[in-house]
Amino acid sequence: MNKSPYPQCWKPETKPPRYCPGCGHLMALRSLGQAIDRLKIADQTIFGVDIGCSLLAWDFFDIDTIQTHHGRTIPVMLGLKMAQGKKVCIAYLGDGGGYAIGAQHLVNSSLRDDPITVILINNANYAMTGGQQAPTTLSDQITETTPYGKMTASLKGPELVRNINPRAFVGRGLAIQIEKTENLIQRAIQHQQEKNGFSFVEILAPCPTNWRLPPLEMKNFMQKMQDNFPIGDF
């Protein structure tokens, strides 16, 4: 029986983790870890991380892991899936890797219905590099590169993927809802295993370090995120 408070597939040697206190990644990685434990697939999974805060998860799991170049995790996981068809291949990205520099790979991978699972952490900014705008940055949001507020629209990723691929498993969750998000991730993985098709889960995540908001305003901003990016199955 697992006596540790951590998911069994988390690598204990690299804990405590390097993420900022209150970071949405830690919540998402718990959901992912619990899903992997529940499905008993730690030895059947290959995990790919992008550049940005997702990179900090390169040594997070007792699971085969590869850290790739920025925006390129999806094609690497596709190549791995083609070589190791029986493995569950998961690409773990941020909003930059998925929606900006790697957007063409997300679009084309969903179009091909590649049998991989993409988990994308949406915290409405590029956190690792200090809080620059992301495609998901909200209107009026102040960031390092929108010091007077962003003027343009925010990208809705799951909606985009659904429009490209009617067959894929697509969902959006809330990082703080650990059990619900775990269920979303589990169903996404099962879609890869059973339907051999594309699955995509976006997770709305807080970024206290770069949002620079006091706690009550954090809560309001998370609500604003949910209003702009509706959660649920697509």
Binding site for another protein (CB under 8 A): 11, 13, 43, 46, 51, 55, 58-59, 61-69, 72, 74-84, 87, 104-105, 107-108
Which residue, 81 or 162, is less far from another protein as judged by CB? 81
Closest separation in Å from C-beta 71 to another protein = 8
Q: Which residues contact 85 (CB under 8 A, 6 or more apart)?
A: none
Closest separation in Å from C-beta 86 to another protein = 8
Which residue, 128 or 218, is less far from another protein as judged by CB? 128
Q: Which two tokens stand for residue 150?
A: 């962003």
Closest separation in Å from C-beta 121 to another protein = 17
Which residue, 105 or 172, is less far from another protein as judged by CB? 105
Which residue, 83 or 153, is less far from another protein as judged by CB? 83
Angle at 52 between CA 73 and CA 209, to 5 degrees: 150
As a dihedral over the C-alpha atoms of residue 19, residue 20, residue 22, residue 25, rounded to 10 degrees, the angle is: -30
Closest separation in Å from C-beta 44 to another protein = 9
Task: Report yes or no: 19 and 56 within 8 Å, Cβ to Cβ.
Answer: yes
Q: Is 134 helix (H, G, I), strand (E, B) or coil?
A: coil
Which residue, 66 or 178, is less far from another protein as judged by CB? 66
Buried b (16+ CB within 10 A) or exposed e, 91-117: bbbbbbbbbbebbebbbebbeebbbbb
Closest separation in Å from C-beta 50 to another protein = 11
Task: Report yes or no: 103 and 60 within 8 Å, Cβ to Cβ.
Answer: no
